[in-house]
Amino acid sequence: MPDILIALFLGLVEGLTEFIPVSSTGHLLLIGHFLGFETTGNTFEVLIQLGAIIAILSVYSAKLWQLAVDLPRDAKARHFVLGVLVAFLPAMVIGALAHDFIKTVLFETPALICAMLILGGVALLAIDRRTVEPRYRDITDYPLSLCLKIGFFQCLAMVPGVSRSGATIAGALLMGTDKRSAAEFSFFLAMPTMAGAFAYDLFKNRDILGSDDLILIGVGFVAALIAGIVVVRSLLDIVSRYGFSPFAWWRIVVGTLGLLGLWLLG
């Protein structure tokens, strides 16, 4: 299959999986492994996230604008923005320190990705079936201490296959939030986290990216943008109706098939 078509397909996968708890990076790396798709410095999988970032910004543009307008005069708005920034801090620090290890070791270990998909699916099933009454239902009321803890949970997703949204949502649920607000907070936390990862990876690899890399990234970006808009618009309603079990089972199936494929094909 031509690389341009693989890039298009992977972009769609990125947009469809970035905001659901199944690990978009894990999916991209596994598909790329089995299709023999490699890019300079493993940048493709990170840089096409710009499409997903713009997707969530476009869907939440009205809320973000209202938040910006309210910020100078509304203490609740300032508390929420501060909470998102506090949650972002652990990933900013740990991600910068561990960047090279993540890209050169963890990204190159498909068996680890499959194992994390399966283990994360089992954990998500267990958490989703808990019947604890939520203490927090509104993301603007999350205490700063809760936001920081969610931020540390997000750092688990530096291991590909764990899932950024899955780690943040699972952490939030374990600490007393309801499912809908946990997913929505994950959306807002994605904005600085993914933007930071994009900027840092682009800076680190600015001297080695060629025109062919940029074309593939551009194709993946557009596909991720379109697919991401569809997912962001519908995910909260899906979670409210079905919970996270469908995503957990998907993880387990994909991880199992990946291990089987590695055993059969290498």
Model pLDDT for residues 3-13, shown as the tens digit of each residue: 899 999 999 99
**Residue 86: its pLDDT value, please?**
97
Which has more pLDDT, 122 or 238?
A: 122
The predicted model gives 16-21 an average pLDDT of: 89
**Residue 232: its pLDDT value, please?**
85
**Residue 266: its pLDDT value, please?**
67
**Which tokens is 262 given?**
């590695």
Max CA pair span of the chain: 61
Taking the model in full, what pTM does it have?
0.87
**Residue 253: its pLDDT value, please?**
97
Looking at residue 1, the DSSP 8-state letter turns out to be -
Long-range contacts of 239-242 (CB under 8 A, 24+ apart): 239/179, 239/180, 239/183, 240/179, 240/180
Q: How many domains does the chain have?
A: 1
Res 130 pLDDT > 70: yes
**Which tokens is 67 given?**
């938040």
List pLDDT tens digits, range 52-101: 889 988 888 998 999 999 999 999 999 999 999 999 999 999 998 998 89
Report how far residue 243's alpha carbon sits from residue 93's, in angstroms, rounded to the nearest whole number: 32
**Residue 1: its pLDDT value, please?**
63
CB atoms within 10 A of CB 78: 14
Which residue range forms the structural domain that includes residue 24?
3-35+42-265
